[in-house]
Amino acid sequence: MTRGGRRKGLFSPESVERVRNAADIVSVIGRHVDLKKAGNGLKGLCPFHHEKTPSFFVSRERQTWHCFGCGAGGDVFSFLMGLLGMSFPDVLEELAAETGIELEAPRAGDARSDGLRDLLAEARRFFEEQLAGSGGSAAREYLAGRDLGSDTIRALGVGWAPDGNLLTKHLRGRGYSDSQVEESGLAIRSREDPGRVYDRFRARIVFPISDRRGRVVSFGGRILPGARADAPAATAPQTPGPQPAAPGGAPGPPLP
């Protein structure tokens, strides 16, 4: 195991989710950034780059933050990781202690599939955050042009996979190894350089494919019209961990 993957595996995805829900992002960030009301959310001076006019926004509703100045963004975990240089397990344990949530170990024998399911759920959140951020503007325009409103987009879990290897990088920060990201189908190992993996979905709209229980098992992707079409496969292989989508399982959204 690398990069804390083993430690992370000690926590069930459910307890990670409980901590995320219990920790109010506004009060956590509010300890480090002076936040003022702005529209539906709050804004302040970004702690990740130098600025004199606030371009750092926090959404209580979505429990996310985003800086339109430097493009950084994420959830309460990534905020503290980025600001304080803490590892994901350390942030998780600290917030769990603060919110009184007990971190449970995954059920015996289920750690591997739980870990994968958790990875896929984290990828969905990452893609959604990217769509909401400054890098997702072209995708948002495209979706608006297809009459997909923000409520629908949220309900379907539509997101944006940025160019580069940002998802793999993000998941590394969450304690996942490159092999785990590869196993999830979200990264591909380089043939020329087997030590490297790269994001399967780059510069495309992505949507989660769920099983009957509503758990993400894979992602589908589509390129924006007019964009270069040299990116790899449009659908990630389904992961071996969670149950694959059975016939009748919820397919991806009816994107045109």
The site for Zn ion (CB under 5 A) is made up of 46, 48-49, 67, 69-70
Output the smallest distance, CB 64 to Zn ion, in A: 14
Closest CB 48 distance from Zn ion, rounded Å: 5
The nearest distance, CB 52 to Zn ion, in angstroms, is 12
Identify the bridge partners of residue 189 per DSSP, sorted by sequence position.
197
Distances (CA, A) of 166 to 67, 135, 171, 203: 16, 12, 9, 11
Of 70 and 223, nearer to Zn ion (C-beta) is 70
Shortest distance, position 58 Cβ to Zn ion, whole Å:
12
Contact 212, 244 (CB under 8 A): no
State in angstroms the smallest separation of the CB of 95 from Zn ion.
Answer: 22
Q: How far is the CB of 245 from Zn ion (least distance, A)?
A: 38
Measured from the CB of residue 71, what is the shortest distance to Zn ion in angstroms? 7
Rounded to whole angstroms, how far apart are CA atoms 167 and 204?
Answer: 13
Q: Is the dihedral of CA 102, 108, 109, 110 positive or negative?
A: negative
Cβ-based nearer residue to Zn ion, 80 or 181: 80
Q: How far apart are CA 164 and CA 248, in angstroms?
A: 34
Task: Evaluate whether 26 touches 58 at the Cβ level (below 8 Å).
Answer: yes
Q: Based on CB atoms, which residue is closest to Zn ion, 44 or 252? A: 44
Compare residues 48 and 255 and give the one whose CB is closer to Zn ion: 48
- CB nearer to Zn ion: pick between 73 and 157: 73
**C-beta closer to Zn ion: residue 46 or 58:** 46
Query: What are the backbone angles phi and psi of residue 37, rounded to the nearest 5°?
Result: -60, 140
Structure tokens at 44: 């302040």
Cβ closer to Zn ion: 73 or 242?
Answer: 73
